[in-house]
């Protein structure tokens, strides 16, 4: 039996998140800067001899089966798989095994990255010739348009392309600008950046819906915060290319202040406390990853305070997670089993 596997990297978004969400990105244009890390979403696929899709999801501790010729119901249970098999025109039954290195709701783009892994495995099986742009757009269509899961566009592109990217959303067009960061700058970032789990995951849809509602109502503070967030993403790109690491951290801090204006659900007392502790114990700057409400804080530390900062955060219930940067995007391969 031949098994097809796919792995796609999760990402950390340094700045610009929120400007990749409709209708802001179509009306005013968005920009984000992000990098992929050595945490992944995985999909394994094996063909069946019937017309059933059998899915095992470790992340949700769920096993489900549905017929390809039946009416699909998007009920919150494996909607990404249902949407992917429909959009990609799957006619033969498959077994799918899904899991991720980080939990859903982590702020690391796990849902969109899993969609990219699904597209990769199904596309490999169907022998489709898909570019990185094709994969990202197909994953976006599956998750946002077909499954109706509200959210942004950056994660699909980050997972598909991999590496450090400055991504522009210009109306219907998306442009990925790979960043050529010097090796010593990357090493310094890995040395001084810290991921801290806040202790809880969150559902991003409600927070993003709140942001979208405020934007469509043209609330001045939210529109201004989104515009400033986009400008900060450009400044972050420049600081990173120039090797201005401390300036980069200060810009992350400014970006977090802007992001908190998107929605009242963006943060809570515990997250604010962790961030304050970080700033008081050696963090130059940082931000909450993803849509907000939980998940991971990304912090840039003074090099000689990292161990102190880690201790203080864990005393307050945080959990520090090690990571390194990943420079490859989606990868697929086959393996034969007896």
Residues 310, 194: contact at Cβ < 8 Å?
Answer: yes
For residue 66, give the 3-state DSSP assignment. Answer: strand
Confidence bin at 294 (pLDDT 50/70/90) = confident
Give residue 205's pLDDT: 65
Give per-residue pLDDT as tens, 106-130: 889 999 999 999 999 999 999 999 9
- Percentage of the chain modeled with pLDDT above 90: 84
- Residues marked as catalytic: 155
Nearest to 278 by CA among 295, 301, 251, 260: 301
Positive or negative CA dihedral for 16, 207, 293, 226?
positive
Domains contained in the chain, CATH given: 2-179+332-336 (3.30.230.10), 183-321 (3.30.70.890)
- The predicted model gives 70-96 an average pLDDT of 92
Give residue 262's pLDDT: 92
- Is the bond leading into 23 cis (omega within 30 degrees of zero)? yes
d(CA 54, CA 70): 14
14 pLDDT more than 80: yes
Nearest to 142 by CA among 121, 171, 173, 169: 121
d(CA 278, CA 134): 40
- Convert 298-317 to b/e letters by CB count within 10 Å (16 or more is b): bbbbeeebbeebbebbeeee
């Amino acid at each position: 039996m031949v098994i097809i596997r796919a792995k796609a990297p999760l990402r950390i978004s340094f700045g610009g998140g929120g400007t990749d969400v409709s209708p802001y990105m179509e009306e005013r244009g968005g920009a984000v800067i992000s990098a992929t890390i050595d945490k992944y979403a995985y999909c394994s696929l094996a063909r069946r001899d019937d017309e059933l899709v059998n899915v095992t999801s470790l992340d949700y501790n769920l096993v489900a089966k549905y017929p390809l010729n039946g009416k699909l119901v998007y009920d919150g249970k494996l909607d990404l798989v249902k949407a992917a098999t429909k959009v990609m025109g799957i006619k033969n039954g498959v077994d799918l095994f899904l899991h991720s290195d980080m939990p859903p709701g982590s702020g690391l783009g796990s849902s969109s990255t899993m969609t990219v892994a699904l597209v990769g495995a199904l596309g490999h099986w169907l022998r489709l010739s898909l570019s990185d742009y094709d994969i990202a757009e197909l994953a976006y269509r599956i998750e946002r348009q077909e499954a109706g899961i509200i959210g942004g566009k950056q994660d699909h592109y980050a997972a598909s392309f991999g590496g450090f990217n400055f991504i522009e959303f210009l109306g219907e067009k998306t442009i990925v600008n790979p960043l050529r960061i010097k090796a010593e700058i990357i090493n310094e970032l890995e040395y001084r950046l810290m991921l801290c789990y806040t202790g809880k995951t969150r559902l991003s849809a409600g927070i993003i819906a709140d942001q979208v509602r405020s934007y469509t109502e043209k609330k001045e503070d939210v529109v201004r915060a989104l515009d400033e967030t986009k400008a900060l993403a450009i400044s972050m790109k420049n600081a990173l290319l120039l090797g201005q690491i401390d300036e980069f951290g200060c810009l992350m801090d400014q970006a977090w202040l802007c992001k908190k204006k998107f929605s009242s659900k963006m943060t809570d007392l515990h997250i604010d406390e962790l961030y304050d502790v970080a700033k008081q114990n050696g963090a130059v700057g940082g931000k909450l990853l993803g849509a907000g409400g939980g998940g991971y804080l990304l912090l840039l530390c003074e090099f000689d305070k990292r161990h102190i900062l880690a201790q203080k955060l864990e005393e307050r219930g945080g959990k520090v997670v090690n990571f390194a940067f990943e420079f490859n995007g989606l990868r697929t391969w086959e393996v034969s089993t007896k």
